[in-house]
């Protein structure tokens, strides 16, 4: 039996505040909650990245990630690459980019691959997680999109941005796992709101979870309340 304690679950969690309506008070709360919970990384929209970085300057164990192409993924590749470079100059340790959903749905697979590669190249070795936005894709499009991510050099494939109505489902995660075949990590985001969901996805191979502050706090409280303060993930 393999068990994970609260602090180990926390190190699987990226807390995010990436909605358009998030204001500076929410960014400050994001940083405070990240400190309290001990999560692995935090994300805000690019205009808030400098503030978020300053709030966590003395918390080296918490990474600050950069959001590229949010929320639609419809930016040109050159703009996404420029955004990535600007965020890296701000000191982010990871990049989460939105795939060009419209191109993927249109069957423009080479264009999608090169769009991802443009950001991967701009990242210069910093891990890039590519958001498929599964809610808008068929199972076959999820499979193809996952393969394109791997071919373009992405470190992770991610289910959603948190802007679409859904994203992280067991079905979607299973498709991604089969498509990437261990060649990239899997990040689930867009619907992970309780410990049972997190555990079920962990068992399918998910090793990062994009979660809002309220859900992250709830999930870790659930874990702490388990017998022995840990949860079986085997």
pLDDT digits (tens, 9 = 90+) for 126-137: 999 999 999 999
Residue 49 has pLDDT above 90, yes or no: yes
Q: Is 80 a catalytic residue?
A: no
- Backbone phi, psi, residue 13, to 5°: -105, 130
Q: Find the catalytic residue in 6, 53, 80, 96.
A: 96
User: For residue 141, what is the domain's CATH number?
Assistant: 3.20.20.70
Of 53, 80, 129, 158, the catalytic one is 158
State the DSSP H helix or E strand holding residue 121, giving kind and residue range, or none if neither: helix 109-123
Give the per-residue pLDDT at 97: 98
**Catalytic status, residue 96:** yes
- Band of the pLDDT at 162, cuts 50, 70, 90? confident
- pLDDT tops 90 at residue 109: yes
Question: Could you list the residue range(s) of the whole structural domain that residue 65 is in?
Answer: 3-232
For residues 67 and 161, what is the distance between their CA atoms, to the nearest angstrom?
Answer: 9
Instruction: Using the predicted structure, report yes or no on whether residue 187 has a pLDDT greater than 90.
Output: yes
**Residue 50 CB burial class (10 angstroms; 0-12, 13-18, ≥19):** middle
The share of the chain scoring above pLDDT 90, in percent, equals 98
Q: Rounded to the nearest 10 degrees, what angle do helices 195-203 and 213-224 cross at? A: 80
Q: Which of 6, 53, 129, 187 is catalytic?
A: 187
In this prediction, residues 155-166 reach a mean pLDDT of: 94
Which pLDDT belongs to residue 1? 86
- Is 53 annotated in the active site? no
What's the total number of domains in the chain? 1
| Global pTM exceeds 0.85 | yes
């Amino acid at each position: 039996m393999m068990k994970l304690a609260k602090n180990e679950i926390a190190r699987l969690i990226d807390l995010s505040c990436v909605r358009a309506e998030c204001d500076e008070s929410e960014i400050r709360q994001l940083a405070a909650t990240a400190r309290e919970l001990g999560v692995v990384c935090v994300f805000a929209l690019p205009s808030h990245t400098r503030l978020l970085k300053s709030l966590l300057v003395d918390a080296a164990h918490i990474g600050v990630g950069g959001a590229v192409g949010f929320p639609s993924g419809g930016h040109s590749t050159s703009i996404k690459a420029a955004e990535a470079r600007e965020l890296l100059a701000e000191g982010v340790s990871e990049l989460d980019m939105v795939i060009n959903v419209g191109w993927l749905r249109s069957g423009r697979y080479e264009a999608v691959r090169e769009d991802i590669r443009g950001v991967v190249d701009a990242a210069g070795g910093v891990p890039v997680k590519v958001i498929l936005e599964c809610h808008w894709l068929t199972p076959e499009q999820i499979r193809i999109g996952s393969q394109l991510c791997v071919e373009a050099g992405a470190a992770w494939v991610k289910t959603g941005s948190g802007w679409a109505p859904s994203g992280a489902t067991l079905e979607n995660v299973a498709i991604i796992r089969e498509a990437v075949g261990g060649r990239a990590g899997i990040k689930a985001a867009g619907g992970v709101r309780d410990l049972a969901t997190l555990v079920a996805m962990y068992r399918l191979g998910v090793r990062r979870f994009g979660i809002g502050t309220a859900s992250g706090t709830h999930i870790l409280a659930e874990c702490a309340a388990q017998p022995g303060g840990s949860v079986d993930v085997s």
